[in-house]
Amino acid sequence: MVLALLFTATFALLAGCGGGGSAGSPYLAPPPPAAKGKYFTHVVILVQENRTFDNLFATFPGADGATRGKTHNGGSIRLKESTLASPISPNNGYNFWRRDWNGGKMNGFDTVPIGRMSGTYVYRYVDPTQIAPYWDLAKQYVLADHTFQTQGSGSFTAHQDLIRGGTEIGSGESLIDFPTAEPWGCNAPPATRTSLISVSNKYSVFTGPFPCMSYETLADLLDKSAVSWRYYTPAAGTIGGNLWNAFAAIHAVRLGADWSNVVSPETDVFTDISRGTLPSVAWVIPDFHNSDHPGQSSDTGPSWVAQVVDAIGASDAWKTTAILIVWDDWGGWYDHVAPPGNRRYGGLGFRVPFIAVSPYAKAGYVSHYQYEFGSIVRFLEDNWNLGRLGTTDVTSSDFANDFFDFSQTPRAFVRIGSEYSKSYLLRRPPSNQPVDTE
């Protein structure tokens, strides 16, 4: 059930619900102590934006990458080595995904125009020297090369999938793509609607409910088991922060006591790391400039990830922490691997990069097993014995025994070098820009 009709009655309350304090602020109350889990005391999920596996790891040794891509006329094209910064953001809604996918042929990418640019623009991979921290992390720890986003969709549902594993709302339908108005969540304008896709992949544009959902998320399971959590996100009171904030679309969180677990700005994660109050579960959402999202000139995303990892690595939390680095959707870029399985609710979507960092992670291991966002949800559920949400967490594989070797001596942390320092990232003014508009 979707509580759209409550919007008018609760608008005043929404206006008064803020996030956390500023970075280093004494008003940022520490979360409850981290709960000891089956594998780890802390799990930190760093969510980057809009990249396929081929776009970032096409030439990574031992990985299933490609430097040539199929085109719609039966030919192929060499992927162009390029910079991480891209002035153009490729199209990445469901209808564009279907054209790219082309019934599993993976040869329709050049049929999707980008403004005045040819569709061949998306046949690119990033120069590895531009994303050296990602490659360093993959070389030291675990890189999974067959991790698929839940749907062939964009950031709104992708971020929902990372807190729930699916966006089914009953009656054989699921949310897909993005709402009709910003911000994406319970404080959207009252007439805002979502789009739907059925279990058999019937796509219905803007016929869905108001984006304020009552379905259960990991927040419910974590709360029931008294496992602490925080969702670090940019500027929750701005359009940008709300677009990035998956829990802004969850009624029980946005209008309840759990909103105190949504902490802004996202740089407050450094505060909790430094004072030893990192929660058991942390989602960390970057500022637009640090997100890897195309359509901007910034190249600071790899440094942002490296600095968060370095901060954890230098802390006491390192010994009991798993850091999961994932990109939320394919962003319109080329990828050569067709999503497996039967089509349901527009999924699975395309591959995204996935890196696991831990003192127990296998060294320099490239996993070829199939995972998806439901695997992350399942891993959290299993680590704290939370039970199941009943979405893709039920059918997704858990990667615990694939990624980690708990018989090995815990590895000492080796700092990940990066071009931009933590002080630079902290001094940089927030962009106040939305994560995505599709």
Residue 54 corresponds to which tokens in the numbers above?
């081929």
Tell me, yes or no, whether 144 lies in a domain. yes
Q: By the 8 A CB rule, do 71 and 95 touch?
A: no
Q: Is 219 in contact with 192 (CB distance < 8 Å)?
A: no
Residue-level pLDDT at 216? 98
Tens of pLDDT along 2-45?
A: 343 343 334 333 433 444 443 445 568 899 999 999 999 999 99
Q: Give me the CATH number covering residue 57.
A: 3.40.720.10
Residue 284 CA to residue 263 CA, distance in Å, equals 10
CA dist., res. 152 & res. 137, Å (int): 27
**Of the candidates 436, 151, 156, which has an alpha carbon nearest to the alpha carbon of residue 294?**
436
Coil vs helix vs strand at 43 = strand
Neighbour tally for 172: CB within 10 Å: 14
For 94-117, write each residue's pLDDT tens digit. 999 999 999 999 999 999 988 878
In a domain, 3, yes or no: no
Taking the alpha carbons at both ends of the chain, their separation in whole angstroms is: 24
Specify if 48 maps to a domain: yes
What per-residue confidence (pLDDT) applies to 26?
A: 55
Q: Provide the pLDDT for residue 6.
A: 40
432 domain residue, yes or no:
no
Could you tell me the pTM of the whole model?
Answer: 0.94
Check residue 177 and report its DSSP letter.
S
What pLDDT is recorded for position 113? 87
> What's residue 431's pLDDT?
86
Domain assignment present for 102: yes
Q: Report the pLDDT value the prediction gives residue 14, as an integer from 0 to 100.
A: 41
pLDDT at 119: 87
Helix (H, G, I), strand (E, B) or coil at 92: coil
Cα-based angle 21, 23, 25 (whole degrees, multiple of 5): 55
Tell me, yes or no, whether 1 lies in a domain: no
- In the block, tokens 């623009």 appear at 121
**CA dist 277 → 142, 187, 221, 230, 342 (Å):** 26, 30, 21, 11, 43
How many domains, in total, are found in the chain? 1
Q: How far apart are CA 216 and CA 165, in angstroms?
A: 10
At 184, list the tokens: 């994406």
- pLDDT value, residue 4: 39
**What is the domain extent for residue 79?**
39-427
Query: Does the residue 116 lie in any domain?
Result: yes
Q: Which positions of the chain have pLDDT values less than 70? A: 1-27, 236-237, 434-438
